[in-house]
Structure 1
Amino acid sequence: MRAIWKGAVSFGLVNVPVRLFSATQEHDIRFHQVHREDGGRIRMKRMCSVCGEEVAWDQLAKGYESEDGRLVVLNDEDFDALPLSTGREIDVVEFVPTGQVDPVLFGKSYYLEPDARAAKPYALLREALEATDRVAVVKVALRQRESLAVLRVRDRVIMMQTLLWPDEIRAAEFPILEDEVDLRPQELRMAASLVDSMAADFEPDQYEDEYQQALVQLVEAKLEGAEPAPAKADEEATTEVVDLLSALQASVDRAKASRGEKPADAPAKKTASRSPARKTAAAKTGTARKAPAKKAASKTAAKKTPARKSA
């Protein structure tokens, strides 16, 4: 890995020289825009909308247009003149409990490697963060911009994660969530049961980017001039509207089945299967008991018949 920044972590009067490394990387395949007919690369030219000339990189500047249409042009010298109090320092502002930082604020992650002469203060900061279960809130200047960030420990390495500023988080304004929803106790219990049946320790290594793997196989097949393997068809999602409680129960059963466990309603199904047999037996008994009554009725009718003839 190549260091992208050099500076120092400053907390109190302690200074820890460090190098900054990007902790993440994208594995997406990079595509170029090409002409479909002959595969020629599509080149984008930087054309000026006023004079119509192509503009070289060293002639580019940054412009801001106000709401009333006025334009302000800023060059590199303007940006260099802006005050950045953090300069080449990661300035610790305060230490806060780990759970108080909302994950929605997290941005990009970096590793901090200590300078050879800073191994001891680096270890001191790392152990202090772990012992107190806190993260350090810091300010740092990256790419000519001041950022808010936190320092936390991961596998004996101090990481820095940039944070969004509070005004960069959009408010979730959905009127539908303001309406009261009537949840039945049995639905809440079944939902909790579903959560329990799918509970596990988070192990990210067990997950794979199936789309990325299929894309790599497609590209490799195209390079070799072979036909790509047909994609596996996904199971069609049911569009039938079912009762929420039934859907939760079915979800619990499916989750348990995937873990090799017996569904909770298995005994109930066996009992239900015996019920028709009992009903049939009862029906037969009832029929047997009613039969003598019919026979007796026919005998009575037979006795009355001669009386009618004699009359």
Structure 2
Amino acid sequence: MSTFRSFVIKENNGAIVKDVILENTENLPAGDVLIKVMYSTINSYDVLFSRENTSFRKNTYPYVPGVDAAGIVVESNSTHYREGDEVLIFGNGLGQDVPGGFGQFVRVPESWIVSLPTGLSMQDSMTLGSDGIAAAISVMEIMAAGIQTNSKEVIVGGSSYGIGAFAVSILALCGYNVTAVTKYMECEDFIYELGAKEVLSIDNFTDNSGKHLLEDKYVAGIDTLGGDVLDTMIRSVKGGSTIAVCGAVLSETFSSSLLPLILRGINLVGIDSLRCSHSLKREALYRLAGDWYLKTLSFMCNEISIFEINEYLDKMNNNLIKGRIVVNHKL
């Protein structure tokens, strides 16, 4: 039995309160493995779930966010994981169905766990988080569609943090020419450091002409924004292109023409890195630990303590962050 800190979101007389409280490991739900969390991260998903009126969150109050965690096994009923093993959890219900990585201990089923791969530190793994997994799966979908690199043009919607930032880096590493769309041109230099060949503001990219088909500039796209950006992307890609849709930072809806899908054979692929298969998640992670290891991780990582989570959730909800926010439970 151990006492530990948790960042909790709760309701008090109709008001939403976010606070750091003391908890006890005996109050954690049943599970195969008890893990001491060393690092977590504020993902795009955590930001969406923390909004009061979002359709994304299924939690009831109170709950402990943090869809990802990296830590050390301290108790185990599993035949696969033993005390002292360094392990990772990406989604699967962490921070939704059970208390998440914003607490210093979690207890989960063994099927949710992935061993920390050679080539990644715990800090690296949480700099990536489920956002990095989503970006990797998005690139895997583009490649699976037969869209080869060869300096082909790819468009990424949203690129200053989270999934979009990782998508820019992975695509550039793989040899694609990346055009990045951002609302925040003050992050332009940062996005070029990630590997973009061109950076466009949302206003310069989005098209409100009403045309069903625009010039087909791009062989593929990855979008994290939704709304008018996704609409313009659909109308701007070449025949047979794949667009991976993995975020809704600006809007949870979009309106577009069906003609690009019909006349150009455009494929829209939804990306869910939280509840996708364990094998797909593991494949993406091991690519990120190997050929797709990103040297940009070091300058993307910004560490905070558990006591700073509320401040940074607010900043991320207002798009005031670039790079990645990693929660270091040792601070």
TM-score by length of 1: 0.23
TM-score by length of 2: 0.22
Higher relative contact order (CA 8 A, sep 6+): 2
- Choose 1 or 2 for highest CA Rg: 1
